[in-house]
């Protein structure tokens, strides 16, 4: 799924990873520290953000969500080490207030989907 992400280097240790081909234009941020890297938000999950992050760091990666909306946690499925706010864990455990059908409609709405993407396979993290 080439060219799904737009990557901008903010400084030597900070990157913005954006999804401009979707109307949400989600922005995620990678902060590379001395021993670990922190990915703030993981985007829509339409394409594999983990593969992009691996190009930008060789350190262990922790993912964290600013909040539990579908466009901020879609790529969490690619990370073993991830965090979310305790008050929002119910949403991650099956109580997300939107149906998967509604989310799938929002995924394809005003979106230049990558070749090979099948919305019926899209799942909420």
Give the CATH number of the domain where residue 10 resides.
Answer: 3.60.15.10
**Per-residue pLDDT at 2:** 65
Q: How far apart are CA 87 and CA 63, in angstroms?
A: 17
Tell me if 113 is assigned to some domain: yes
Cβ 14 vs Cβ 28: under 8 Å: no
This prediction's pTM: 0.91
Tell me if 1 is assigned to some domain: no
Range of the domain at 36: 6-121
Tell me if 21 is assigned to some domain: yes
**Higher model confidence: residue 40 or residue 2?**
40
Checking if the pLDDT of 1 tops 60, the result is: no
Q: What is the pLDDT of residues 12-44, one digit of tens each?
A: 999 999 999 999 999 999 999 999 999 999 999
Query: For the chain, what is the domain count?
Result: 1
Q: How far apart are CA 62 and CA 33, in angstroms?
A: 11
What mean pLDDT, rounded, does the chain reach?
Answer: 92
Query: In sequence order, which ranges of 1-125 are alpha helices (DSSP H)?
Result: 49-54, 70-73, 89-90, 100-108
**Per-residue pLDDT at 114:** 92
Tell me if 22 is assigned to some domain: yes
**Per-residue pLDDT at 55:** 97
Question: Which residues, 6+ apart, have CB-to-CB distance to 1 below 8 Å?
Answer: 46, 47, 48, 114, 115, 116, 117
- CA contacts within 13 A on the Cβ side of 118: 2
Q: 87 falls in which pLDDT band (50, 70, 90)?
A: confident
């Amino acid at each position: 799924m080439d060219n799904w992400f737009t990557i901008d280097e903010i400084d030597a240790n900070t990157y913005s990873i954006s999804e401009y081909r979707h109307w949400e234009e989600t922005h995620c941020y990678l902060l590379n520290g001395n021993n670990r890297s922190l990915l703030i938000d993981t985007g829509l999950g339409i394409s594999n953000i983990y593969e992009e992050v691996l190009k930008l760091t060789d350190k262990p990666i922790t993912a964290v969500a600013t909040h539990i909306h579908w466009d901020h946690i879609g790529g969490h499925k690619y990370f073993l080490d991830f965090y979310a706010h305790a008050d929002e864990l119910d949403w991650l455990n099956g109580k997300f207030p939107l149906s998967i059908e509604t989310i799938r409609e929002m995924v394809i709405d005003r979106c230049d989907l990558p070749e090979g993407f099948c919305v019926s396979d899209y799942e909420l993290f």
